[in-house]
A and B are shown apart, each in its own frame.
Chain A
Amino acid sequence: MNYSWLAKMAWRDSRKNRNRLFLFMSSIILGIAALVAINSFGNNMQSEIEGEAKGLLGADLEVESNEPFSEDILQFFDSLGAEQSREVNFASMVLFPESGGTRLVQVRALEGRFPYYGSIETEPAGAGQSFREEQQAIVDRTLLLQFNATPGDSIKVGEVTFGIRAAVTKVPGQANITSSVAPPVFIPMRYLEESGLLQKGSRLEHVLYLKFEDGTDLATLFEETIEPRLEEAELRYDTVEERKEEIGDTYEDLTGFLNLVAFVALLLGCIGVASSVHIYVREKLVSVAILRCLGGKGLQGLSIYLIQITAIGFIGSVLGATLGAVVQYFLPQLFAGFLPVEVSVEISWPAILQGILTGVLISVLFALLPLLSIRRVSPLSALRRSYENKERDPLRYLIFGGIILFVALFAWLQLEEIDEALVFTGGIVLAFLILAGIAQLMIWLVRRYFPAGWSYIWRQSLSNLYRPNNQTLVLVITIGLGTALISTLFFVQGLLLQKIELTDSEGQPNMVVFDIQTEQVEEVAALTKEFGLPLIQEVPVVTMRLHGINGRSAEAIKDDTTSDIRNWVLRREYRVTYRDSLISSEEIVEGKWRGRVDSPQDSIFISLERDLAEDMKVGLGDKVTFNVQGAIMDTYVGSIREVDWERVQTNFLVLFPAGVLEQAPKFHVLITRVDSAATSARYQQALVNKFPNASVIDLKLILKTVDEIVGKVSFVIRFMAFFSIITGIVVLIGSVIISKYQRIQESVLLRTLGASRNQILQINALEYFFLGSLASLTGVLMAVTGSWALAEFYFDTPFSPPVWPVLISYLAITALTMLVGLSNSRSVLNRPPLEILRNEA
């Protein structure tokens, strides 16, 4: 084939249609922009994580344990010449004496020079190390803001009052958002004993940070010496490499997900391309037929237009990539609070290259669907205009296959899981099919039940929905999917919050006081009553570990590689309660509940939660042995329960009957309900003052935190979904302009026949009203169905679609469609018919 001639023809042919070709291009710009922005951002973050790897952990190695480290281990690390820092952290209440405010925080008692890499950043700066020299604490900035406290004020942790040295703005390896759940308060380790909080026993986490001398071959040392020793001591640990991978994976998942959202916008744009090219090709059929008459081959005709589309796809992708590189600059603000590292914005060439390649490939694939028909244009069409080759080209199916394969491959690249990629691809195909199906159904319904009795203007605008070359299908898909995406996000956010709010409804408990010592139980109860608050539940909690199952020790099971008993079951610390009856959130599904053991000789029949029993591979009658703080105790599975974990009350995996654990060391949990914020504050203050070891979980605070996090997450996702909506609108503008050529003939004819400007305006307005309504209704309908399914099957909560958001989405999208449609058909209305015919012919 003569390629230079083909290129020349593509160029010549494009001269008179360049504006329209640029329209196709505009459909993909936003999708590519979103893709490139997210990818660039992801790449920058990965390289940042790579560069700051050691700063993410703050040390070469981190070792964790629920118990204090044994002398053996400490000496072992001494012998390796490692510098050590220690930390003990736990959840506890703090009190701000100046304001009287109290809150549950994460107390981190530090000793040593940790962090060795990176730093705890503070305001004023430099306090990350120096606070350890005096009786001072550094406190999460948001927490300070919340209680209106500033450096120089004081904070009471347990029995000790510290001066607040500075506000903490950044902790190595931690995203700011994690601190809204449990804001960190750092104190020097040497005041820990004095605080009286060490009695929290097993609820403390001990951490050892190690730094080895520069030049140490860490990989070898770790693999040959350290790892075996830590495994033997059953200690958890994290190396720089592991931490880097964990954080990297998390954010790769995040950017992968957002990439798919961006990809959806691109796909929508491509549907726009396919539909525009479809109309474009129809207009080119005669030219192609002439070319064939003159001896041009089928492939030559196809190639001319393929070259045009590829070039346009390329230019569109380059423009999109450029826009994406700009959008990228706003992403760090968008993700503020989510990132463990500060991401500097740089041009990421791999992301740009990938974006351009994706854009060209996918737009060409989609454009090929309508382009294929060029191959089979009969030269006879030049002689007879009405001649149409009606055969379906089998190559179409190959192209469809190609598109689906491309989508699946792209998803796989982003998600790195073939199953998830297939689900994504299937979901996209299904959504497209549903939207296309609804559009076709509507078209069919309009034709079938056409309101013949309506006035001409209504009939004309309705029939425009199914006229030849109509854009109904493509607009319903693009605008509908965009609307569906945004509305679903909105509904799901509402669902999540509604679910939490439900638990806060009238009479339900909303405050949990835990870590109460046995001797404090009565006093705490009395204090609660003093405030006029109900004692909804008071529950003793005993901690224990699993010792064995059916006579085999937990150790042996752990070492047995053939055992399918899940590891978490063997390793975890069980918090267990005992009582003689069941509570409302529990239901026996197997066996029988025996509430009391009367004599020490009797067998103990416990009740297990269903999932635990499954993972433990035990059934009724099996023997489960526990180590209750030193005492070995055999029990038998007497019943299996289903537990509703979602209510604010104490629920347990393992439930003992009364009469067994009464004498074991334990702590207590008290559940109550506080209605006013003021009472809640005073109650917590009194509690913390009197019982510094007790902690309070306030549902209102959790509600606020979840709202904040969900709000932030959904803002990010909505930002991405916005690209889809805008793409839908660009496609709308494109198809309105393209179909304008067709409408002009018709409008001019109408005007020639005596239609007034107003009548034509009404026909157009009504047509776009129908189109917009159809698209947005379909989208909202999909969102409502999807959200209902999520509510019913996933969140297990009743769902009633919010009326106002549904109405607003519908009205806004419909109005927008009408606006775009009408503003583009203005030229038809404002000029004399003959002038238009001359200009547009």
Chain B
Amino acid sequence: MSDILEVKGLSKIYRSGERSLTVLDHINFKVQAGETCSIIGPSGSGKTTLLGLCAGLDRSSSGSVILNGQSLEQLNEDERAEVRNQHVGFIFQSFNLMPTLTALENVMVPLELRGEKDAAKRAMTLLEKVGLADRRNHYPTQLSGGEQQRVSIARAFSNRPKILFADEPTGNLDQETGAHIEELIFELNREGGTTLVLVTHDQELAEKTGRILQIKGGKLVYDSLTDTAIQTR
């Protein structure tokens, strides 16, 4: 199988005046298409930063991210947006639905951005899949947390992404709702053959993925694929 994501020597350093803070330090790994993988680590270890860089939401200080064969460093902001729209799906911890759009409209956005004609039909199908067809005309504030996250999942899969990034997808939900959401993500993931990269500090959730990457202090310290601690410089 081919690699959908390749991270090479990736570093992120924030500079403030004379001080600098290394958040990610020479991270290397590859993810194959169809793989499910989780990034774990304590708070402040750099998980979310890594996810953001992998999805092209930010620029690295050095190193590169190759997503679906394209090096993100060589693309400008709008070109990276195009890549996201074509190949990437997103699920956020705080759902991040657009508050002024209804559930249906929220799911339609990625499709409409691509100019797809039957956006409403496809979005409706997805809402049905996540069990919210009857809530399609509700605004986010009229939905519970679990419902909002289901809409967000429908939106993430609407553009048939090759890779799905999820940032603590159950972090804001109670255990029972969280479990439902997890099931839904994995189910839709299997159905679409999508690659899944999720960030979590929930060990149980991480173990449901095929591979675990562990980060500590900005360094990749463990990769379950090789089942060994990684030697860092």
B86 part of interface (Cβ distance < 8 Å): yes
A189 part of interface (Cβ distance < 8 Å): no
Stretch at the interface among B104-112, B125-133, B178-186: B104-112
- Whether A286 contacts B96 by the Cβ 8 Å rule is yes
User: How far does the Cβ of A387 sit from chain B's closest Cβ, in whole Å?
Assistant: 9
- Whether A291 contacts B96 by the Cβ 8 Å rule is no
A841 part of interface (Cβ distance < 8 Å): yes
Stretch at the interface among A10-18, A483-491, A643-651: A10-18
- Whether A2 contacts B96 by the Cβ 8 Å rule is no
B99 part of interface (Cβ distance < 8 Å): yes
Stretch at the interface among B28-36, B77-85, B212-220: B77-85
A297 part of interface (Cβ distance < 8 Å): yes
How many angstroms between the C-alpha atoms of A300 and B105 in the bound complex?
17
If A5-B115, A13-B101, A383-B167 touch, whether A295 touches B96 (CB-CB below 8 Å) is: no
**Chain A interface size range:** 20 to 34
- Whether B100 contacts A294 by the Cβ 8 Å rule is no
Total contacts A to B, CB within 8 angstroms? 86
Partner of B100, one of A17, A299, A384: A17
If A380-B57, A383-B48 touch, whether A295 touches B100 (CB-CB below 8 Å) is: no
How many angstroms between the C-alpha atoms of A9 and B100 in the bound complex?
10
A836 part of interface (Cβ distance < 8 Å): no
User: How far does the Cβ of A209 sit from chain B's closest Cβ, in whole Å?
Assistant: 72
When C-beta atoms are compared, the residue in chain B nearest to A2 turns out to be B115
Residue-by-residue, is B88-124 near A (CB-CB < 8 Å gives 1, otherwise 0)? 1010100011111100010001101111000000000
Contacts of B51 in A (CB 8 A): 383
How many angstroms between the C-alpha atoms of A96 and B51 in the bound complex?
99
Residue-by-residue, is A796-830 near B (CB-CB < 8 Å gives 1, otherwise 0)? 00000000000000000000000000000000000
If A383-B51, A383-B57 touch, whether A294 touches B90 (CB-CB below 8 Å) is: yes
B155 part of interface (Cβ distance < 8 Å): yes
How many angstroms between the C-alpha atoms of A281 and B114 in the bound complex?
25
A311 part of interface (Cβ distance < 8 Å): no
Contacting residues of chain A (255-307) with chain B, CB-CB under 8 angstroms: 286-287, 290-300
Contacts of A383 in B (CB 8 A): 48, 51-52, 57, 92, 167
Contacts of A841 in B (CB 8 A): 141
B58 part of interface (Cβ distance < 8 Å): yes
If A383-B48, A384-B48 touch, whether A293 touches B57 (CB-CB below 8 Å) is: yes
**Chain B interface size range:** 35 or more
Partner of A379, one of B57, B101, B105: B57
A382 part of interface (Cβ distance < 8 Å): yes
How many angstroms between the C-alpha atoms of A17 and B97 in the bound complex?
16
- Whether B113 contacts A296 by the Cβ 8 Å rule is yes
Contacts of B167 in A (CB 8 A): 383
- Whether A294 contacts B84 by the Cβ 8 Å rule is yes
- Whether A5 contacts B112 by the Cβ 8 Å rule is yes
How many angstroms between the C-alpha atoms of A294 and B88 in the bound complex?
8
B222 part of interface (Cβ distance < 8 Å): no
A378 part of interface (Cβ distance < 8 Å): yes
User: How far does the Cβ of A12 sit from chain B's closest Cβ, in whole Å?
Assistant: 6
How many angstroms between the C-alpha atoms of A292 and B88 in the bound complex?
12
Contacts of A294 in B (CB 8 A): 84-85, 90, 109-110, 113, 155
Contacts of A292 in B (CB 8 A): 81
How many angstroms between the C-alpha atoms of A487 and B113 in the bound complex?
54
How many angstroms between the C-alpha atoms of A378 and B49 in the bound complex?
13
Instruction: Give 17 new A-B contacts, CB below 8 A, not counting A290-B97, A295-B84.
Output: A12-B101, A15-B100, A287-B98, A287-B99, A290-B96, A290-B98, A291-B98, A291-B113, A292-B81, A294-B113, A294-B155, A297-B81, A298-B78, A300-B113, A380-B57, A382-B57, A384-B48
Sampled A-B contacts (17; CB under 8 Å): A2-B115, A12-B105, A13-B100, A14-B100, A287-B100, A290-B96, A293-B84, A294-B109, A294-B113, A296-B81, A296-B113, A298-B78, A299-B78, A300-B113, A382-B92, A384-B48, A384-B52
Identify the B interface with A (CB < 8 A).
48, 51-52, 55, 57-58, 77-78, 81-86, 88, 90, 92, 96-101, 105, 109-110, 112-115, 139, 141, 155, 159, 167
10 nearest interchain CB pairs?
A295-B85, A379-B57, A295-B84, A13-B100, A297-B78, A16-B100, A380-B57, A294-B110, A287-B98, A290-B96
